[in-house]
C-alpha cells in the first residue's frame, strides 16, 4: 500500500475535513479525494461518510485507523533504521515544546547518550497539537508537551508541574505594575487564571508567546514577568533576577506521551526512565 494513502486517511480522520487535510499535506483537495477513493477501492469498503456537517469515519474507517497508524509508524521506523550510520542499532525521535527543551530536555539528551550510546537521537520542536499528530503517525517516539490529547494506543504520563513565579530584574513589591511588565502567554489555562488573579491589570506594554524570548528581554532590558522556577533559579542564585514577594504562583503541568505496549523494548523504557529522572532533578535543583 502507498504510505501516502494511509497518511492522507489519518489527516482526514483527525481534522474531519478534506480541505483541512489537503492544507496540512500541502496538496490539492482533488489529490486528497483521489487518494481516498484509491484507498477505499483497494480495501473494498467506504472509510468516510460525507455530509454537509462534515466527514466522519464509517465503522470500517474506525477499524482501519489503528492499522493506518501502525503502517505509517513502521514505515518511518524502517526508513530511520535503514539510514542508521555504522555503530548504531536504533534511532529514537523525541519531540518537545520549546520551553520544555529549555534546560530539561537539553539535559536529557546527554543522559540518554550516556545510557544508550548505540542509539541515535533525533529531536524535534513543536506545539502540542503538532506533536500529537506526529505521535499518531509514528513519526516521533516520545512527545513532551503541556496540552496532550487522549489518543488510543498512546500513554499520557504527567512528567512535572511547572511553578510559574513572578521575578524582576530589580527588587519590587507586588502591585508595583509599570511598563516593565512582560506578559508571557503560557497557554489558555494560564491566560484565564492570570486574568482572574489580576482583573484590574491594564494591557501590558510587551507580550510574548515564547517564554525564552520574554526572559531574554527582561535580562537585557530590565523588567519583570512570570517564568518557570526551574528556568529562573540560576538567575535567582546569581542575583540577576529577584522573586517578587507574596506574588501568587501559577501551576502548569507538563506531560510525556509515548506508545503503549512494548514495541521498542528497552530503548523506549530507558528514554522514559531518563525523562522522569531529569524532570525530577529539575524540580530539586
Domains and their CATH numbers in the chain: 3-80 (1.10.10.10), 85-160+253-284 (3.40.190.10), 162-251 (3.40.190.10)
pLDDT given at position 281: 83
Please check the confidence at residue 137 and state whether its pLDDT lies above 90. Answer: no
Residue closest to 68 by CA, chosen among 151, 154, 3: 3
pLDDT given at position 144: 94
Please check the confidence at residue 90 and state whether its pLDDT lies above 90. Answer: no
pLDDT confidence tier of residue 216, bands split at 50, 70 and 90:
very high
The 10s digit of each residue's pLDDT in 172-207 is 998 888 899 999 999 888 999 999 999 988 888 899
Q: Is 9 helix (H, G, I), strand (E, B) or coil?
A: helix
pLDDT given at position 52: 75
Please check the confidence at residue 263 and state whether its pLDDT lies above 60. Answer: no
Q: Are 106 and 58 in contact (CB under 8 A)?
A: no
Task: Please return the burial class of 156, using the count of CB atoms within 10 Å of its CB with bins 0-12, 13-18 and 19+.
Answer: middle
Half-sphere exposure of residue 176, counting CA atoms within 13 Å on the CB side?
14
Lowest-confidence segment of 9-18, 161-170, 242-251 by average pLDDT = 9-18
Beta strand spans in 89-223 (E): 90-96, 119-125, 142-145, 154-168, 181-184, 206-208
More confident residue, 187 or 283: 187
Question: What percent of the chain clears pLDDT 70, i.e. is strictly above it?
Answer: 96
Residue closest to 182 by CA, chosen among 173, 193, 169: 169
pLDDT given at position 246: 92
Please check the confidence at residue 9 and state whether its pLDDT lies above 90. Answer: yes
The 10s digit of each residue's pLDDT in 30-83 is 999 999 999 999 999 999 998 877 789 999 999 999 888 888 877 877 776 667
More confident residue, 86 or 174: 174
Amino acid at each position: 500500500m502507498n504510505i501516502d494513502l494511509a497518511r492522507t486517511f489519518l489527516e482526514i480522520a483527525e481534522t474531519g475535513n478534506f480541505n483541512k487535510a489537503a492544507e496540512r499535506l500541502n496538496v490539492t483537495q482533488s489529490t486528497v479525494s483521489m487518494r481516498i477513493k484509491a484507498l477505499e477501492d483497494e480495501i473494498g469498503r467506504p472509510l468516510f461518510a460525507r455530509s454537509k456537517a462534515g466527514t466522519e469515519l464509517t465503522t470500517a474507517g474506525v477499524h482501519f485507523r489503528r492499522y493506518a497508524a501502525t503502517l505509517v509508524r513502521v514505515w518511518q521506523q524502517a526508513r530511520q533504521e535503514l539510514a542508521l550510520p555504522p555503530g548504531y542499532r536504533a534511532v529514537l525521535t523525541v519531540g518537545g515544546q520549546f520551553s520544555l527543551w529549555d534546560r530539561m530536555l537539553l539535559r536529557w539528551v546527554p543522559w540518554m547518550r550516556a545510557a544508550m550510546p548505540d542509539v541515535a537521537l533525533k529531536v524535534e520542536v513543536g506545539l502540542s497539537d503538532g506533536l500529537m499528530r506526529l505521535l499518531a503517525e509514528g513519526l516521533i517516539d516520545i512527545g513532551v508537551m503541556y496540552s496532550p490529547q487522549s489518543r488510543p494506543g498512546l500513554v499520557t504520563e504527567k512528567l512535572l508541574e511547572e511553578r510559574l513565579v513572578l521575578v524582576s530584574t530589580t527588587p519590587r513589591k507586588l502591585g508595583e505594575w509599570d511598563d516593565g511588565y512582560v506578559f508571557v502567554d503560557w497557554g489558555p489555562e494560564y491566560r484565564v487564571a492570570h486574568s482572574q488573579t489580576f482583573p484590574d491589570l491594564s494591557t501590558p506594554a510587551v507580550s510574548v508567546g515564547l517564554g525564552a524570548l520574554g526572559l531574554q528581554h527582561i535580562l537585557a532590558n530590565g523588567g519583570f514577568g512570570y517564568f518557570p522556577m526551574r528556568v529562573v533559579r540560576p538567575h535567582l542564585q546569581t542575583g540577576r533576577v529577584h522573586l517578587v514577594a507574596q506574588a501568587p504562583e501559577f501551576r502548569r503541568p507538563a506531560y510525556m506521551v509515548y506508545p503503549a505496549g512494548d514495541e521498542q523494548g528497552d530503548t523506549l523504557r530507558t528514554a522514559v526512565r531518563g525523562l522522569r529522572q531529569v524532570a525530577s532533578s529539575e524540580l530539586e535543583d
